[in-house]
Structure 1
Amino acid sequence: MLLAVLAGVFSAVAAHADRQRILVIHSYDPGLPWVAQCNRGIDGVLAELVELERVYLDTKRIHRSEFQARADKAMQFYERFKPDLVMVGDDDALRLLGPRIAATGKPLVYFGINNNPREYFSRMPDNVTGVLERVPVFAWIRHLKRIVPGAENALVLLDGSATAEAVISVAFGDRMELSVDGVRVEYKVAADWAQWQRVILSPHGFDFITMPLYHDLKDDAGVHVPVEEVVRWTTENSSVPVFAYQDYAVGDNGVVGAFVIFGETHAQLAALMARDILEGKNPRLPTAYMDQDGMFFFNESRLTRFGLTLPEDIRRKAVFR
């Protein structure tokens, strides 16, 4: 019996040793709901197949002056772990580490990338592929035109993160404003929490506000403002309805509604690409785009506060929180 037990132990160790390794490098912290969703998507595909390790750069909460040191530590972990493939989540991780990892020759699969990935490489490497995240900025505004009666002017409000810069570049290009189905859409970037508050409190002439990114706001002392506090304060102090692009922002203490791209589904696609690569398939797979695929979330009390009635086709598809 003892020999049988020992044989089983050694077999399990040998099987574990034979498993291929994937290192997942996230731009943000594990407590961010988007990151948790992505981890679930990756685990659902890969957890039983490979040995997974994760590194979190935490770039939403630390100062930009610390980014490089955090990236250097991630590379040190990479060198110790010796993965067979690396996955990088969101723009900061790809920008800070993509070229260094690609230069090692290991396959690299990205996800959650808002910018054009080519912006992060002098020449796009053959061992890099992945899934782009496209925040449905204008698709949501087209829906909101039907939800907010008589809407003519909309504000897209963002934090000052690199991800926000990428969203602006993709959505607006070099324009400060444009028209979407007859709605004039302008964007503003808040460099910090105080500026964000001033934008919300000042008379602005907008009929509604959407906030794609608000995760990288710091107070006057340089302390990161929790996402929950940003959402609660913004919705309580705005004189016009506020909408987001994340389901966790919707609720009695949150925004009126959201048009959501799910991190879990998004990361599943990247994980499937990683699995195929490890199985010997061509790593130069077509990039998958997530442009307009989304789901509606609303809060009834917030709709009532602003006297909003959902069109029946949207109400039928919506989740209420």
Structure 2
Amino acid sequence: MDMFFRFAIVFYIIFLNLTTHILANEQQSLRILHVPSYHMSWEWNSSQLQGFKDGLSLSNVEYKIVELDTKRISDPTLIQQKAMIAKNLIDQWQPDLLYTNDDNAQKYVAMDYVNTTLPIVFSAVNRDPSIYHFSNSSNATGVMEYEHFIPAINLLRTIKKDIKHIAVIVDSDPMWAGVVKRIKEKIKEVPDIEVTQWYVADTFTNYKDIMKSLQTKVDAVALLGVFNIKDESNRNIDFKEILRWTAENSKLPDFSFWESRVDSGTLVAVAISAYQQGYIAGEMARKILIDGVAPSDIPINSTEKGEPMISLARAKALGMNIDVQIFLNIKTKKQYDWSE
């Protein structure tokens, strides 16, 4: 009995220590530095961060955010200055984890901390992770932004069955190289569809000329890069302005992979979920911060399921009669966001 009593005491002490350790981990305030490539007023970024917070599922977290704002700022010197703010915060504030969105945040901030003691979790990255030295690194993992190309093609063809020749338009941002490479591989899975035209648009005038020339050359257009397009003063054009011009001047069905494009006039998309990108990243961060899993033991992942959607305003402008059955399984946009 005496031996049993001593064993019970030892067991209780061990259990108490473990419980105290777990509670301490739960109650200890964690610091996370979030560096989005763009700006938090854009839903794409705010949804990723909300998903991250929900996936992390912790209340005792202090966040600091440094926006690189590279959609609206094109001057590399200004972007570097913003990146330096983030780097100074890392040195002085010493966050427990760095969460970075989209490619430019990796290029200007995250890759400088690869193989350091600072855990890095990223989301919405288009380029191969090896470009940022994430592959086989000791402290980085995250979520790739793989576009749903075949589902988008299939959705488009439920609306317009005779599509055979497609053009793809990108801007000059290097992130599109990975997307183009994946499309070239994926298109092989659809033997009766061919991408016959590949274009890089660097100015709005150039973009307009390309779209006008395509009206008699192809059956549809994949609108990918519409951000790094400049006016005559070398100022970045707001992508909504570009998509509005497209909706008002092009008679070609168009598709993409982001909800914001359909909001602004692109006909269809099987959209990548910003929230899911962030949510998976948040789950990864929890494993690192709470479960003690090394980032190198968490495989780089991607979101698998996209959300099909259609712009009814664009379909009407194109004179399309759409089977009502299609509406049962896809998200619909009744009007353009710029007409509200």
Quote the residue 1:191 is aligned against. Answer: 202
Query: What one-letter code is carried by the residue in structure 1 that aligns with 2:212?
Result: L
Residues in 2 aligned to 1:236 and 1:178: alpha-carbon distance in whole angstroms: 32
Query: What one-letter code is carried by the residue in structure 1 that aligns with 2:36?
Result: H
Alignment map for 1:192-231 (pairs within 5 Å): 192-204=203-215, 205-231=217-243
Larger displacement relative to structure 2 (61-70 or 98-107): 61-70
Query: What one-letter code is carried by the residue in structure 1 that aligns with 2:175?
Result: T
- Give the structure-1-normalised TM-score: 0.85
CA contact (8 A) 1:235 1:242 kept: no
The Cα offsets for residues 229-288 of structure 1, whole Å up to 9 and x where unpaired, read as 11111111112122232223325x612222111101110100110011001123221222
Query: What one-letter code is carried by the residue in structure 1 that aligns with 2:332?
Result: F
Quote the residue 2:10 is aligned against. Answer: none
The alignment partner of 1:162 has SS state of coil
Does residue 239 of structure 1 match 2:251? yes
Query: What one-letter code is carried by the residue in structure 1 that aligns with 2:208?
Result: Q
Gap change, CA 1:178 and 1:201, over 3 Å in 2 = farther
Does residue 27 of structure 1 match 2:37? yes
Quote the offset at 1:311 in angstroms.
5.6
Of the three residues 89, 94, 117, the one matched with 1:105 is 117
How many residues matched?
A: 304
Residues in 2 aligned to 1:95 and 1:65: alpha-carbon distance in whole angstroms: 12
CA contact (8 A) 1:235 1:241 kept: no
Residues in 2 aligned to 1:85 and 1:122: alpha-carbon distance in whole angstroms: 15
Query: What one-letter code is carried by the residue in structure 2 that aligns with 1:98?
Result: A
Q: Percent identity?
A: 25
Quote the offset at 1:299 in angstroms.
2.5
Residues in 1 aligned to 2:182 and 2:92: alpha-carbon distance in whole angstroms: 37
CA contact (8 A) 2:66 2:82 kept: no
Quote the offset at 1:105 in angstroms.
1.6
Gap change, CA 1:122 and 1:285, over 3 Å in 2 = closer
Residues in 1 aligned to 2:298 and 2:315: alpha-carbon distance in whole angstroms: 43
Quote the offset at 1:58 in angstroms.
1.4
RMSD: 2.7
Residues in 2 aligned to 1:254 and 1:43: alpha-carbon distance in whole angstroms: 31
Residues in 1 aligned to 2:284 and 2:35: alpha-carbon distance in whole angstroms: 16
Of the three residues 269, 282, 285, the one matched with 1:274 is 285
Residues in 1 aligned to 2:310 and 2:161: alpha-carbon distance in whole angstroms: 17
The alignment partner of 1:119 has SS state of helix
Quote the offset at 1:140 in angstroms.
1.1
The Cα offsets for residues 65-116 of structure 1, whole Å up to 9 and x where unpaired, read as 3243332232112212210111111111112222322243211111111122
Residues in 2 aligned to 1:287 and 1:16: alpha-carbon distance in whole angstroms: 26
Residues in 2 aligned to 1:22 and 1:203: alpha-carbon distance in whole angstroms: 47
Gap change, CA 1:136 and 1:122, over 3 Å in 2 = closer
Quote the residue 1:289 is aligned against. Answer: 302
Gap change, CA 1:160 and 1:72, over 3 Å in 2 = same
The alignment partner of 1:255 has SS state of coil
Of the three residues 69, 79, 95, the one matched with 2:107 is 95
Quote the offset at 1:219 in angstroms.
1.0
The alignment partner of 1:229 has SS state of helix
The Cα offsets for residues 27-76 of structure 1, whole Å up to 9 and x where unpaired, read as 11223221121122123344623111111111222225324333223211
Query: What one-letter code is carried by the residue in structure 1 that aligns with 2:281?
Result: A
Does residue 153 of structure 1 match 2:165? yes
CA contact (8 A) 1:135 1:212 kept: no
Does residue 258 of structure 1 match 2:272? no
Quote the residue 1:6 is aligned against. Answer: none
Higher Cα Rg, which structure: 2
Residues in 2 aligned to 1:134 and 1:117: alpha-carbon distance in whole angstroms: 12
CA contact (8 A) 1:160 1:192 kept: no
CA contact (8 A) 1:86 1:108 kept: yes
Alignment map for 1:38-187 (pairs within 5 Å): 38-46=48-56, 48-66=59-77, 67-121=79-133, 124-172=136-184, 180-185=190-195, 186-187=197-198
